[in-house]
Homo-oligomer: A and B are copies of this chain.
Amino acid sequence: MNKQDRNIYLSNMEVEKALELYLDRLSLDRLQAEEEAIATVESMGRVTSQAVFAILSSPNYNASAMDGIAVKAKDTFAASETNPVRLILEKDFIYVNTGNPILDPYDAVIMIEDVTVVDDSTVEIIKSAAPWQDIRPIGEDIVANEMIIPSNHSIRPVDIAAMLAGGVNQVKVYRKPMVGLIPTGTEIIEPGEAMKLGKIIESNSRMFEGLVKEYGGQPVRYKPVADDYKLLKEAIQKAAQENDMVVINAGSSAGSEDYTVGIIRELGEVLVHGVAIKPGKPAILGIVECKPVIGIPGFPVSAYFVFENFARPVIKSFIKQPVHIRETAEAVLSKRVVSSLKHREYVRIKLGMVDDKLIATPLNRGAGATMSLVRADGILVIPQNSEGIEAGETVTVELLKNIAEIKSTIVSIGSHDIVMDIMANLIHHKDSDYSLSSAHVGSLGGIMALRRGEAHIAPIHLLDENTGRYNVEYVKRYLPNVEMALIKGIKRIQGIMIRKGNPKNIKGFEDLAREDVQFVNRQRGAGTRILLDYMLSKKGISPEAISGYQREMTTHMAVAAAVESGSADAGLGVLSAAKAMGLDFIPVGDEEYDFAVPVKYLKQPMLMLFIEMLKSEEFAKELEALGGYSLEQAGEIIYI
């Protein structure tokens, strides 16, 4: 192990500068992939390395464009209504179908509708034929020697048809660049291996495989390599020899087990270590055996953005394809985003079209949040020299989805329940034109989003202490000037979730204040948090007495997971979450989980579908399987 070579400094180079430096140094010409000849019928998606010229003309002969008779035009010049001309079969004309060759001495076609049959061998015409009328001349579509497609062209189905019609059965294309992918890390295991404490399932290289294919390369994934200097060095050298480029995942940082940069330097050279992007700063751009070797950080979101910024343009350089900028859309930012002057930040964005206004809501900004990429509709790029963007400002978002898809998505912001996952699935299954997107910010957060015009519906469960009624009073109070309704949802059982067998012997809220009991809470504004506070105050328990009251999770499932893992002993949540995690449960009471909705949206087809699915048998079945729910009123509308 040679620790001397480890890099302890990371530079902070601008993306464009780093990329330019790298591509210049790699020299675009040397990057060009070799060419190979392949069958035209198998060339879809490949990139031409040479222009393709037609070998044959299409049509390859003068062809009749009509069903009719082939004639010698000059025989017909005298024809008129007052002076019909008679033509004799085999002497003056022959019958032809569309596509039949027209040969000397014939030089025109008269369509059958304009021909009067006199007898078996005689016809009469009353209109002259211009030379070459209704004949598709040879080469009308494609002329031999004409260019069909240029070089550096990505072949589409219609290009294949044109090449074949032009007699081109083989086409020269760039060989797909082979991209070696090396997952590294002592802590990683392969999917399917038994999960152990401290282990992480390797998944980044599988994302890279897909991206490499998408960008026109051939992925070559290697077995994961442990954080061992010697093994890693061997793996990188081998991959550089066997491929056109190499991507090493994780170990690109400057930590005590991050060997990548030292090894690349030893085997070749490091051009850039550290770029001014977030997530993704510790990227490495290197060269080994004259091949590009890119070190990519381990957090999935960092990995994605470093791959997009650097691996993608290199792959595309091999096959001479430009990196097109994504389509963009203007949207109103729903939440303030603070960023650093030190880097460009890529914020994953959920988009929704509410009242003809596109609303951009930032998703989890953590570098480890794979789900923020899965859920993202777009990317908001915050430039390096910006400290962030205020809520309400109009921003340009790079689209990851078709805008039509975004426009037909119900935007739900509010309380979390697994019911929302089920509804999202049922809606998309029933009619894949429509989707449901849910942001979990708690019941009050949802009501605020409706007030700002950022959501179609807000799932809420808010108990009014005076009336003992759920939801209605809160909607009235916070949205007094909007015509509102409640779509009735489900009743669900809330309770205290505890580990299987109740090892800490927790019986009720009183036990949460015990010194040996760790609690895990929900975030402020969550209906469940409000319920907790209500119960504590009713029982005269001070929140300060509860160890873990400050520890906030944003979903029932996250609370359940914390209890299941032992990092907490108890949390408040719904029965379905407890059951899903195999926890015991002390019921506290039923509550009503409904959907606040401005009346004006109720007639939108996607909202009507939402209501239809709430009332559906499929929904009832799925809830029954989960347990802890009842839905007598589901889908009913209560106008407020």
Q: Which residues of A contact B (CB under 8 A)?
A: 40-41, 44, 51, 53, 56-62, 67, 97-101, 103-104, 107, 130-132, 136-153, 156-162, 164-165, 167, 169, 187, 191-192, 195, 197-204, 206-211, 213-214, 255-257, 300, 304, 320-322, 324-325, 327, 366, 368-371, 373-374, 402, 404-405, 418, 421, 424-425, 428-429, 432-433, 435, 518, 547-548, 550-551, 553, 555, 557-558, 560-562, 564-567, 577, 580-581
**Residues of the B chain whose Cβ atoms lie less than 8 Å from the Cβ of A325:** 404
CA distance A548 to B165 in the complex (A): 28
| Closest chain B CB from A177 CB (angstroms) | 15
Give the residue of B145, B199, B421, B432 whose beta carbon is less than 8 angstroms from that of A320. B432
Query: In the bound complex, do residue A370 and residue B139 qualify as a contact, i.e. CB atoms below 8 Å apart?
Result: no
- Chain B residue at minimum C-beta to C-beta distance from A210: B157
Q: Provided the pairs A151-B425, A213-B44, A257-B97 are in contact, do residues A324 and B404 lie with their beta carbons within 8 angstroms?
A: yes
Query: In the bound complex, do residue A144 and residue B432 qualify as a contact, i.e. CB atoms below 8 Å apart?
Result: no
Query: In the bound complex, do residue B300 and residue A165 qualify as a contact, i.e. CB atoms below 8 Å apart?
Result: yes
Q: Provided the pairs A131-B550, A206-B160 are in contact, do residues A374 and B197 lie with their beta carbons within 8 angstroms?
A: no
Q: List 14 A-B contacts (CB under 8 A).
A: A41-B209, A56-B195, A58-B370, A60-B199, A139-B558, A143-B557, A146-B555, A147-B421, A151-B425, A151-B429, A153-B428, A157-B209, A161-B206, A324-B404
Query: In the bound complex, do residue A195 and residue B213 qualify as a contact, i.e. CB atoms below 8 Å apart?
Result: no
**Residues of the B chain whose Cβ atoms lie less than 8 Å from the Cβ of A165:** 201, 203, 300, 370
Query: In the bound complex, do residue B198 and residue A61 qualify as a contact, i.e. CB atoms below 8 Å apart?
Result: yes
Q: Provided the pairs A197-B61, A553-B137 are in contact, do residues A429 and B99 lie with their beta carbons within 8 angstroms?
A: no
Give the residue of B60, B137, B141 whose beta carbon is less than 8 angstroms from that of A562. B137
| Closest chain B CB from A430 CB (angstroms) | 9
Query: In the bound complex, do residue B304 and residue A158 qualify as a contact, i.e. CB atoms below 8 Å apart?
Result: yes
Give the residue of B162, B187, B213, B304 whose beta carbon is less than 8 angstroms from that of A99. B187
Query: In the bound complex, do residue A192 and residue B214 qualify as a contact, i.e. CB atoms below 8 Å apart?
Result: no
CA distance A263 to B239 in the complex (A): 58
**Residues of the B chain whose Cβ atoms lie less than 8 Å from the Cβ of A156:** 210
CA distance A539 to B120 in the complex (A): 49
Give the residue of B143, B432, B565 whose beta carbon is less than 8 angstroms from that of A138. B565
Number of copies: 2
Query: In the bound complex, do residue B150 and residue A581 qualify as a contact, i.e. CB atoms below 8 Å apart?
Result: no
| Closest chain B CB from A181 CB (angstroms) | 12
CA distance A139 to B370 in the complex (A): 11
CA distance A84 to B168 in the complex (A): 81
Q: Provided the pairs A150-B425, A418-B145, A550-B130 are in contact, do residues A300 and B161 lie with their beta carbons within 8 angstroms?
A: yes
A-B pairs with the 7 shortest C-beta distances? Answer: A157-B210, A147-B421, A161-B207, A139-B561, A164-B203, A51-B425, A143-B557
CA distance A136 to B565 in the complex (A): 13
CA distance A26 to B41 in the complex (A): 31
Query: In the bound complex, do residue B140 and residue A61 qualify as a contact, i.e. CB atoms below 8 Å apart?
Result: no
**Residues of the B chain whose Cβ atoms lie less than 8 Å from the Cβ of A370:** 58, 141-142, 158, 161-162, 165
CA distance A547 to B74 in the complex (A): 10
Query: In the bound complex, do residue B207 and residue A158 qualify as a contact, i.e. CB atoms below 8 Å apart?
Result: yes
**Residues of the B chain whose Cβ atoms lie less than 8 Å from the Cβ of A566:** 104
Query: In the bound complex, do residue A581 and residue B324 qualify as a contact, i.e. CB atoms below 8 Å apart?
Result: no
Q: Provided the pairs A41-B209, A371-B148 are in contact, do residues A203 and B139 lie with their beta carbons within 8 angstroms?
A: no
- Chain B residue at minimum C-beta to C-beta distance from A549: B131
CA distance A562 to B58 in the complex (A): 12
**Residues of the B chain whose Cβ atoms lie less than 8 Å from the Cβ of A202:** 164
- Chain B residue at minimum C-beta to C-beta distance from A149: B374
| Closest chain B CB from A416 CB (angstroms) | 10
- Chain B residue at minimum C-beta to C-beta distance from A55: B195
CA distance A171 to B346 in the complex (A): 30
CA distance A562 to B60 in the complex (A): 10
- Chain B residue at minimum C-beta to C-beta distance from A188: B99
Q: Provided the pairs A164-B206, A402-B324, A425-B151 are in contact, do residues A145 and B557 lie with their beta carbons within 8 angstroms?
A: yes
